[in-house]
Every structure is written in structure tokens, then in C-alpha cells.
Amino acid sequence: MVAGGQRPHRHADYLATLTTRGEDPQVYEGGLAAFAHGMPPHGGFAIGLER
């Protein structure tokens, strides 16, 4: 089995999700920094050998 997906890449989407969940975006500032400057759309796939 092979699965694929598109990962979120918009800074505003991450901020909206954190706000909706009641979390403080400042806690994630280090991880969100790259997205604030622009991140290209990215995805991936995985081979589910363990399934």
C-alpha cells in the first residue's frame, strides 16, 4: 500500500488552527518561522510495509 498527502504550507492556516485549538502561537514560533517567509507546497508518500 502506498499513501500520499499534501501537507499544509500556509502560515495563516497554521495560525488559524492554533487559535481555534486555544493554543498560543508564540510557543511554536521557532517551527512557524519558515512558514512566515513562504514555504512551497509540498507533499510526500510512504510505503506502508508495516501494514
So what's the pLDDT on residue 6? 77
So what's the pLDDT on residue 22? 97
Cβ-contact 8, 47 below 8 angstroms: no
Query: pLDDT digit string (tens) for 9-24?
Result: 899 999 999 999 999 9
Alpha helices of 3-44 — where are they, by DSSP H?
A: 11-20, 29-36
Cβ-contact 14, 32 below 8 angstroms: yes
Q: Supply 11's cell numbers.
A: 502560515
The domain locations on the chain are 2-47
Q: At what angle do helices 29-36 and 11-20 cross, to 10 degrees?
A: 140
